[in-house]
Amino acid sequence: MKKIGLLFLTAILIITVSCSKSDGDTGILEFKGLKAFQETSHKSSEKSARAAFADGPQTHKMHTADMKFDIAEIWVSQDMVEDNIKDNLTWHLIGRNKGIKSCEDYSFSASKLPVGEYKSIKMVFRNRIIRIAVYADNFSKSVEMNSSLDEESEGDDSFITEYFCPNGSFILSGGMIKLMSTGEKISGFTIRSGEKTILSWKLGGPDSKITDCSFDWVDTNGNGQWEWDSDEITNDHCSVEMPMFSFIVEE
């Protein structure tokens, strides 16, 4: 009887130790940015156009070659983001940053992330961006166009929080999470004990090209430099469906 009791106690101890070890298992998540767009083998057939009148503003056909963002923080969660809820999810910090830079220049690594299925990403941006635009008829010429994520200012230090999950992309507005688009999403990823998962982030879709989208830049004073308070961007058009961001998971 004592022998049976001892075996039973030993079994309980083994299960307890096993569960404790499982609860503490962690893996590695590497978050990295990728080059914005694929190179094209030829320049666009579009030509920069001038206004019909000599004293009118110059209008140039442009393509976006890259964009720079100021990401303050990146978090991930095993919870699912949903529309019209408060952000009471459990988040794990992946990295912090200060300074504006291209997607491909971002790299973070979380070495002790709890194992499990992760469904959501939270990205906290500072409200400033720089669009790197090239002339449609000369890709070697570029212009930096400073602006903001809310498109209402030249850029500032206020924060804009965006979320991505299998349901789409969301934004934090008025203390509530609101759906922005069902087309921008991430399928989720798995963190396994002692293993590395790579999450890549890029501007546009996985196979987007520079020439997929174009716009007209109205250079009001004709000085060849972008001026946020006087110049305009018009006729913004994409020939294919173009998400703002896309994510690629390597497990």
Give residue 22's pLDDT. 46
User: Considering its fold, how many domains does the chain have in total?
Assistant: 1
- Is the pLDDT assigned to residue 115 strictly greater than 50? yes
Instruction: Give a yes or no: residue 16 inside a domain.
Output: no
| Mean pLDDT for all residues in the chain | 86
Residue 39: band (very low, low, confident or very high) from pLDDT cuts 50, 70, 90? low
Residue holding tokens 């095993």? 78
Instruction: Give a yes or no: residue 99 inside a domain.
Output: yes
Give residue 9's pLDDT. 39
Q: What is the 3-state secondary structure (H, E, C) of 132-158?
A: EEEECCEEEEEEEEEECCCCCCCCCCC
CA distances from 208 to 35, 38, 66, 211, 234 (A): 11, 6, 12, 8, 21
Digit-coded pLDDT (tens) for 95-110: 999 999 999 999 999 9
Give residue 154's pLDDT. 79
Instruction: Give a yes or no: residue 63 inside a domain.
Output: yes
Quote the tokens at residue 163: 């979320």
Give residue 128's pLDDT. 95
Instruction: Give a yes or no: residue 32 inside a domain.
Output: yes
Give residue 15's pLDDT. 41
Q: What is the pLDDT averaged over residues 11-33? A: 65
**Nearest Cα to 60, choosing from 46, 73, 74?**
46
Instruction: Give a yes or no: residue 11 inside a domain.
Output: no
Residue 183: band (very low, low, confident or very high) from pLDDT cuts 50, 70, 90? confident
State the distance between the two ends of the chain, measured CA to CA, in whole angstroms: 50
- Burial grade of 22 (CB within 10 A; 0-12, 13-18, 19 or more): exposed
Range of the domain at 226: 23-250
Residue 171: band (very low, low, confident or very high) from pLDDT cuts 50, 70, 90? very high
Instruction: Give a yes or no: residue 14 inside a domain.
Output: no
Instruction: Give a yes or no: residue 8 inside a domain.
Output: no
Instruction: Give a yes or no: residue 12 inside a domain.
Output: no
Q: How does DSSP classify residue 51?
A: -
- Is the pLDDT assigned to residue 18 strictly greater than 50? no
